[in-house]
Amino acid sequence: MRLEHIGVAVDAPDAAARTFRALLKATPYKTETVPDQGVRTHFLDAGAAKLELLEALGEDSPVRSFLEQRGEGVHHIAFSVPSLTATVEQLRAAGFELLSETPQNGADDKQIVFVHPKQTHGVLVEFCAPRTPDWSPRRIARPHGSVSAFVRGPEDAPPLVVLHGAVGSTRHETAPLIQRLESSFRVIGVDLSGHGDSALPDAPLTLDLFAADVCAVLDALDVPDAHVVGFSLGGGVALHLAATRPERVRRLAVLQTTVSWTEAQAAQMKQRLALDALEERAPARADRIRRRHTAPTPLLRRVRAFVDTLPAAAQALADGRLAVTAPTLVVAVDRDPLFPLDDALSLHRRLRTARLTVLPGTRHAFHALPLDALLPPLHTHLTASARIAS
């Protein structure tokens, strides 16, 4: 659990934004209307947590009655939890009264519940958890079918591409990271070919194709170059893009990515991608895969064929340095069951300008990454101006 934001009720959001800009050098990076709660919210990044400026909407807005009774000021404090269902159960068992029977949709792609302030010494406490965002994609037409991107954050912030892993997608995988970065970057989540909202082209999946997906999105958005962050397969795509189109990449971060594929690792990966076997072993995961991609069965077949090519490709790279000049942050988890820590060390060694961060973790899954531990080194790396010594 961590402090996510502090809600502040304000009469005039423009005046409040001016005050907080003078005070904290932070300007609202996102404004959102939440009809269910009778508010318009304005988010500011205040370092360890956010400020949520609350503007009353309509006559029966709870924020309006708060302002009438108490004037401007702190309205609530909000803690983020991994599972709101579990939190609601624990709160009920502990005898707390909630302001709603079930979690409600709040701002910032969150589900929220409030605890009645009479039980919490007058402090209105919110608990929130991320929900799958209902972002709409920008579809970029290409000869082999469209590629989709989700663009978040201020237009004048440094552009940052975020790439998901094999059989992942932006909305269902990398969204929580994007939400944490969108106050500082113009974040561009790309659904790689065949994944999520992007069409599956009638051609084999290759690193060239995935890198071309990213270039097509950058071209359509008129972005000459960007930082690129990729998880697993997305990290491989990021490295390939940086090696083949260096002019398009500023800084790189690769999360749980290997370039030293063995036949055993490829076989293990393919097992994770066999839909029929998943049907028996992990039916919920199989069901999620079916719902999240436009053509799940052919997608998994093509991804397995792609994984087959990786050990030979890695062999070709086996010695010598990777032709990547962009400063790179290599992020590993210490007990990744798929890619041992040695893979990350070897990747780090083979890059010209890289730093390494090892986080605690036992799974090869984006949602298991400890974002609170990842964000500080990632942010430092992406905002650094000096080059890393070779």
Would you tell me which residues interact with Co ion (CB under 5 A)?
7, 52, 78, 126
Both tokens assigned to 16: 């409040």
Phi, psi of 131 (to 5 degrees): -120, 160
Q: Which is nearer to Co ion, 79 or 244 (CB)?
A: 79
Q: Which is nearer to Co ion, 78 or 187 (CB)?
A: 78
Phi, psi of 279 (to 5 degrees): -50, -40
| Shortest Å, Cβ 50 to Co ion | 9
Q: Which is nearer to Co ion, 109 or 126 (CB)?
A: 126
Q: Which is nearer to Co ion, 7 or 103 (CB)?
A: 7
| Shortest Å, Cβ 2 to Co ion | 14
Residue written as tokens 């973790």? 361
| Shortest Å, Cβ 85 to Co ion | 19
| Shortest Å, Cβ 126 to Co ion | 5
Cα separation, 275 vs 292, in Å, equals 13
Which stretch of DSSP H or E encloses residue 379? helix 371-383
Q: Which is nearer to Co ion, 65 or 383 (CB)?
A: 65
Query: What SS3 state is found at 194?
Result: coil
Q: Which is nearer to Co ion, 110 or 293 (CB)?
A: 110
CA distances from 383 to 136, 369, 380 (A): 28, 21, 5
Cα separation, 232 vs 368, in Å, equals 13
| Shortest Å, Cβ 144 to Co ion | 43
What single DSSP character describes residue 137? P
| Shortest Å, Cβ 4 to Co ion | 8
Q: Please, what is the end-to-end C-alpha distance for the chain in angstroms?
A: 38
Q: Which is nearer to Co ion, 70 or 349 (CB)?
A: 70
Cα separation, 80 vs 110, in Å, equals 9
Query: Which residues are paired to 254 by β-bridges?
Result: 230, 330
| Shortest Å, Cβ 106 to Co ion | 6
| Shortest Å, Cβ 310 to Co ion | 44
Query: What SS3 state is found at 378?
Result: helix
Cα separation, 344 vs 174, in Å, equals 21
Q: Which is nearer to Co ion, 76 or 152 (CB)?
A: 76
Query: Which residues are paired to 357 by β-bridges?
Result: 331
Cα separation, 63 vs 61, in Å, equals 5
